[in-house]
Structure 1
């Protein structure tokens, strides 16, 4: 039987503004590079970052819970002008965070 993946806990937030700025910029870069740069990418990144920072300010440090919060709250976002969905955005945030922490995200490692 496969071993369950251990939860990933982010360090407590010390500078939410800086963390949010980094995430927003990283997410816009990711969105623009995956398909084509679109104006809506700025709006998507801003909304996802707002959700993330608010969750962090409320004490949420579990990456899985943060991803679920982004998926849940981004369901209200109108993605008709985008190639993306709430799942793609939440997964991108997770990947960006894992990369920033130096955690290999390949193959469950």
Structure 2
């Protein structure tokens, strides 16, 4: 039987606003370089970072729970002017957070 994947947790937030700014900037960079720079990327990154900051201020440290919150709340975002969806954004946030923790996300490691 396969072993469950252990949760990945962030350290408790010391400055959630600063984390949110980092995430916003990193996400805009990722969005602009993954496909094309487009005006909607700024709005997408703003909304995702707002969700992230609120969750962190509420004490959420689990990366999986943060990703689920972003998927859920980004469903209300209008993605018609974008190549992306709530799932792509949540996955990108997950990748950025794992990278920031120095966790290799390749090949199930």
After TM superposition, which residue ranges in structure 1, 4 or more long, deviate above 4 angstroms? Answer: none
User: Cα RMSD (Å) of the superposition?
Assistant: 0.6
CA offset at residue 3 of structure 1? Answer: 1.9
1:60 paired residue number: 60
Distance 1:60 1:108 in 2: 24
- For structure 1, the residue ranges without an aligned partner over 5 or more in a row are none
Q: Secondary structure in 1 aligned to 2:83?
A: coil
Q: Secondary structure in 2 aligned to 1:108?
A: coil
- For structure 2, the residue ranges without an aligned partner over 5 or more in a row are none
| 1:52-102 superposed Cα distances (whole Å, 9 cap, x missing partner) | 000000000011000000000000000011000000000000000000110
TM-score, normalising length: structure 1: 0.98
Distance 1:67 1:16 in 2: 16
* Structural mapping, 1:32-47, within 5 Å: 32-47=32-47
Instruction: State the aligned residue count.
Output: 109
* Structural mapping, 1:90-101, within 5 Å: 90-101=90-101
TM-score, normalising length: structure 2: 0.98
Q: Secondary structure in 2 aligned to 1:107?
A: coil
CA offset at residue 2 of structure 1? Answer: 2.4
Asked if structure 2 preserves the Cα contact closer than 8 Å seen for 1:48 and 1:74, the reply is yes
